[in-house]
Amino acid sequence: MSEEAIIKKWEEQPMLMPRIEKVVVNLSVGKSGEPLEKAFKVLKEITGQNPVKKNAKKSIRDFGIRQGEPIACVVTLRRQNAIDFLKKVLPVIDNKIARKSFDDRGNFAFGLTEHIEIPGVKYDPDIGIFGMDICVTLNRPGDRVSDRRKQKAKIGHKHVLTLDEAILFTKQTLGVEVV
């Protein structure tokens, strides 16, 4: 389907217009203690929200990780906070996302190697430098019926977000070039 046909379909049927459901920012340290506390501070400073610590699922003796030990921190951003964060972070990767970063449902992910490349973040030698993973979930209005607990229902195949629609929406909304 061509881009013009997709845009026309969105204008005629507003329930088919995609939206950003959430942005998940993951900063994995690999160890607990002081490094995790520093990562916690960095994530709180960048996103403006309190992160949640995530525990190791299994023990890995070679890395010195025990099951249940906190090794990462995560923040979930929704609505306008998510869009603002993406507009702040995407220039770091030159507003380019690889086509292979999108999955078949239109979600995409990318990573940053250094958090100090984000505009407005200054390097602090006491904290150090952290990399992070950013995952963006796209959906349409009405997709909640498949996630809710009560009266769960399936989404019809015509309402499922496709890869081409997700790429077009991302280009229009965020001004991203898909390579």
Report the SS3 class of residue 145. helix
Second CATH level (architecture) for the domain 18-178: 2-Layer Sandwich (3.30)
Over residues 111-127, mean pLDDT: 79
Average pLDDT in the chain: 84
pLDDT of residue 105: 83
Largest CA distance in the chain: 57
Map out the domains of the chain as residue ranges: 18-178
**Per-residue pLDDT for 75 more than 90?**
yes
Neighbours of 106 (CB within 10 A): 23
Q: Which pTM value belongs to this model?
A: 0.83
Locus of tokens 């499922």: 160
Tell me the per-residue pLDDT of 132-146, one tens digit each, with 9 for 90 and over. Answer: 889 999 988 887 888
Tell me the per-residue pLDDT of 77-94, one tens digit each, with 9 for 90 and over. Answer: 998 899 889 888 888 888
